[in-house]
Amino acid sequence: MNQHDSIGRREFLTWSAAALTGATLSTIPFVPGNRVEAADMTGVAGRKRSLRLAHMTDMHVQPELSAGDGMAAALKHAQSMQDPPQLILTGGDMVMDLLGVDAARSKAQWDVWQKVLKQECSLPVKHCIGNHDVWGWNKKVSKTTGQESGWGKQQAIDHFGLSRRYYGFDQGGWRFLVLDSIFPSSSSVYAGRLDDEQFAWLQNELKNVPATTPVALVSHIPIVSVAVLEFTNPASNEIRLSAGMVHGDAQKIVRLLRKHPNVKLALSGHLHLTERIEYSGVTYLCGGAVCGGWWKGPHHGTPEGYLLVDLFDDGSVESRYVAYGWKARA
């Protein structure tokens, strides 16, 4: 399907005219039903860059495989650019795995991550919780009871310096809503979704943010994804995804976002793959992985890297995956 098929001809002409005359798109109000795909807005004259950020997701830091050196290399690479980012967004899975480890092993992983972050990062950082940042949920393997201090999401909340597991902040004229998409599941250790409390918060946030303020969502597990097809069973000829692969409540979230055309971007990690999807007025970006394939080389052809994202005052988004040159060490 052509990218313009979903836009009425009149709307398309309006946006095209704005492009030709160099009008500032931020002066054109967001009108429900007058949707335009984000890709159509890139390259429009008159817009101003609001913010450049580096989305550094899935670091999976551990004492082994020189993961700390890799994390340091990624941070140095981003900060030494000629036009460096002003913000680092981490997309979750900062440590190798906490779901199935004991207290000593979880501490060993956080120690490396904290040390490198303190030594190598001078930019503001905002964090998002990933499934592997949650301690002990696989009780049998982790040999935890659930009564330990910091069990579950608390360790991540503490290490990330969060006041709570989901939150909002403003930067560069954009509103960011950082979500917690990790919840227990009956069929798996975790599933991707929002709880009722958080969904009500999201509804309220979107209702209260001015309609002219562009909004970016950040979640570890993708809300919308095409790349998940990589993980289906080729023998079955059916698309069946495990509970933890993508948000199970995607339909509910997408329908909410449709009521708020100023939601322009949804960033995710988790898959260690890159994708850019324009769907129903929102750009869905999955940001690869700083660790590539868990520090053992590229994952399905996606190298160790991070996503460089430019946000503009008209709500448009440009993105580029940056491989920072890491070579896996045996």
Residues in contact with Fe ion by CB under 5 A are 58, 93
For residue 273, the minimal CB distance to Fe ion (Å) is: 11
> How far is it, in rounded angstroms, from Cα 274 to Cα 153?
26
- Residue 153: closest CA among 133, 138, 178: 133
Residue 236: helix, strand or coil by DSSP? coil
| Phi, psi values for residue 258, rounded to 5° | -60, -25
For residue 307, the minimal CB distance to Fe ion (Å) is: 14
| Phi, psi values for residue 317, rounded to 5° | -140, 130
- Residue 249: closest CA among 188, 315, 196: 196
CB 238 within 8 A of CB 291: no
> How far is it, in rounded angstroms, from Cα 57 to Cα 79?
16
Helix, strand and coil in the chain, % to nearest 5: 30, 20, 50
Give the CA radius of gyration of the chain.
Answer: 20
Residue closer to Fe ion by CB (options 199, 231) is: 231
For residue 40, the minimal CB distance to Fe ion (Å) is: 32
For residue 184, the minimal CB distance to Fe ion (Å) is: 18
Residue closer to Fe ion by CB (options 23, 128) is: 128
Write down the residue that tokens 């590539």 correspond to: 292
Residue 246: helix, strand or coil by DSSP? coil
For residue 181, the minimal CB distance to Fe ion (Å) is: 13
Residue closer to Fe ion by CB (options 60, 260) is: 60
For residue 297, the minimal CB distance to Fe ion (Å) is: 15
Residue nearest Fe ion (C-beta atom): 93
Residue closer to Fe ion by CB (options 269, 281) is: 269
> How far is it, in rounded angstroms, from Cα 278 to Cα 284?
6
Residue closer to Fe ion by CB (options 58, 275) is: 58
For residue 132, the minimal CB distance to Fe ion (Å) is: 6
